[in-house]
Structure 1
Amino acid sequence: MAHIGMKYPVAATWTEGNKYADGFVLAKAINFTGTPNKNDADLWADDGIAETDKSVKDMGTSLGVDDLSLENQAKLLGHTYVKAAAGSSGGEGTPESIEIGTEDEAPFFGVGFYKRRKKNGVTSFTVIWLYKVQHSEPTENAETKGDTTNFQTATIEGKAYPVEVNGKMSVGKKLVFNTEAEAKAWLNKQVGIK
């Protein structure tokens, strides 16, 4: 099986009981890395391994997008967002901005996207859904323009925490759909995008 590409990263505010509201598309997808943080414990008894624990504790996430708008950054990180406003009587307006408070706390979000899957000549679409993610402030990067153009894009880091789903603790799930439309529709329903 091979995956080709990635599309449609979405997020929605998470509340207890794995309920989601106020869903939105984050931006256009560039890349995603999910790194499980695992328990690694062995119980030795009678000179041998009696029990092991290799379970997933949580998952570090890194989501690269073409442009993380100030509004979406404020939502993900719990910052104050100010929408741009035109000035009155031809005066200067207010620029769009976010205030990055030192005590701002990032809320939890459900986060998902889909990728194209090809196996034995058959194309399908894999949805990745993380139940409860908390993001952290992205690193700001900038580079002067030289002889060639290098695009500067946004990457936001986070951590997916386990939640109870059907009596088991889980950080997320994968679903495979036959069509792109089905994958997108599932994500829209999950986050409440009409």
Structure 2
Amino acid sequence: MFKKLFFLLLKGTILLMILLLSGCCIFPDQSKMEKNIPCIGLVMIPSSLDNHDGSKVKPFAAASVILFGSEGDIISTGTNQEGMWVAYNLKSPYYLLEAEKEGVIIKKVFPFQLLGESSVNVGEANAYSSCQVMVYEIANQYYENALYFREVPDLVIPENLIKAVEKVYREDRNPFDDPFIVSMVEDLVLHQF
């Protein structure tokens, strides 16, 4: 009789554990649901000198945007008429943003972490952030692991490089392909690293 009771108790315990474990699989993991929080940002480009409203920047409207995650994920989106973009399902702690329109590219590296917000605003990609990414890319071409994604947002860029990149953007050209800009960044890297 004791053996029969013990067997039924054991069988009931196993059945209860199976039900509990399967119940955990039915309900979604809350930490994974948080990844669906929208990440928003802005892409701005220096305006041409004949801009009538006097502003120094304008939205990089209708550009395609690709986010390259530090852990290998890639997310595609685009900018609206105000230069704003929205992306979901971000999984990496850092991202390289690349916004492109008609051969002109603006880049930015930004951290992504959730602190219980309803959305995460990663700020503006602009000429300054493009300069930071150029330094990152060229430094890593010359020296293996010279810089990591997490270090890019803290790079301080010389004013002459920023002004040169802004000028190239005002001419609707891509500073990442401009030989003068590339040589300026190479000189900076060779003297700083």
More strand by share: 1
More helix by share: 2
The TM-score, its normalising length taken from structure 1, stands at: 0.24
Structure with larger Rg: 2
The TM-score, its normalising length taken from structure 2, stands at: 0.24
